[in-house]
Each structure stands twice: as structure tokens, then as C-alpha cells.
Amino acid sequence: MGKNLYVGNMSYETTEDRLREMFGEHGEVASASVITDRDTGRPRGFAFVEMATDEGARAAIAALDGQSVDGRQLKVNEARPREPRRGGSGGGGGGGGRRDSYRGGW
């Protein structure tokens, strides 16, 4: 199984095709995904690239970490596993006790 790489500090102009081309020079690219904002659809400035082999991943990190691409200095490293989402309601607690801020009363 390959290695998933995190690619940070990307220009918003950098495309998945460009990533495949750059990383493909160092080994077989299994997948490339530019992460976009859920609401706007715009790139968020980072991506994940899965390399088919560990050797390709190491070569890509060595060659591309710190390289200037589309005017930005890339940060490339091995992706960490995703943190599990916390259960419950999330959020910030809903304003606790600030009834006077709602017109019309409760």
C-alpha cells in the first residue's frame, strides 16, 4: 500500500493535474485531491497526494518539500491519520444565559 502525503501552503491556482505531474516525476501517483471549502467550492490551500509506493513518497518529499510552486513554498510531508470527530453537539455552547439579546422574549 502507498503513502498518503500532505501538501500544504499551496497556491489557490495549483490544480490536481499539476500535482499529479509534479509528484509523478518521483513515482506513481495513486490519487491527488485538492481540498476545497465546503461552502464556496474554492481551494483551501492544501491537498493530499497518495503515492503508490513508499519509495516514491520519500522521493517526492525529498524533492518537493520547500520548493516554490506557483509562487508559494510547498510544505510536503507524510499525512497524519485524521483525528476522530468529537461526538455531541460541537459548537460553542449556544450563548448560555444571554436571553436579553433575543427580542420578543421567551
* Burial class of 97 by CB neighbour count within 10 A (0 to 12, 13 to 18, 19+): exposed
Residue 92 is predicted with a pLDDT of: 55
pLDDT classification of 88: cutoffs 50, 70, 90:
low
Between CA 75 and CA 93 the distance in angstroms is: 35
When pLDDT is cut at 50, 70 and 90, the band that residue 86 belongs to is: confident
Q: What was the pLDDT predicted at 81?
A: 83
- For residue range 72-84, list pLDDT tens digits in order: 999 999 998 877 8
Distance (Å, whole) CA 39 – CA 18: 24
Q: What is the mean pLDDT of residues 59-71?
A: 97
CATH superfamily of 3-78: RRM (RNA recognition motif) domain (3.30.70.330)
What does the domain layout of the chain look like in residue ranges? 3-78
Res. 85 pLDDT band, cuts 50 70 90? confident
pTM beyond 0.85: no
